[in-house]
Amino acid sequence: MIPDLGKYAVSVLTAYGASIALLAGLVALSLWRGARVRRMLREVEQRQGRSDG
């Protein structure tokens, strides 16, 4: 399935692996923090008896 990358296989695969890891890490961190803050906001709003978005 993987094309023949010849003598540069390590370079090409390292570039793709490192880039995908960095970008996936950023996406995961953004989603995790977003979910945590949303949950926190819901808790505070419920405690104060309000809900406006």
Partner 1 sequence: MAMSIWEYANPKKFMETSSIALPWAAGGALLCLIVGLVWGFFFTPDDYKQGSTVKIIYLHVPSALMAINAWLMMLAASLIWLVRRHHVSALAAKAAGPVGLTFTLVALVTGAVWGQPMWGTWWAWDPRLTSFLILALFYLGYIALWQAVENPDTAADLTSVLCIVGSVFAVLSRYAVNFWNQGLHQGASLSLDKEENVADVFYFPLLVCIGGFVLLFLTLVLLRTRTEIRVRRVQALLARERMA
- CB of residue 14 to partner 1, shortest distance in Å: 5
Give the single-character DSSP code of 7: G
Residues near partner 1 (CB under 8 A), total: 33
CB 19 within 8 A of CB 12: no
**Could you tell me the smallest distance in angstroms from the CB atom of residue 33 to partner 1?**
6
Q: How far apart are CA 43 and CA 22, in angstroms?
A: 32
Residue 28 sits in the site that holds partner 1 (CB under 8 A): no
Question: Is 30 near partner 1 (CB under 8 A)?
Answer: yes
Check binding of 48 to partner 1 (CB under 8 A): yes
CA distance 27 to 31: 6
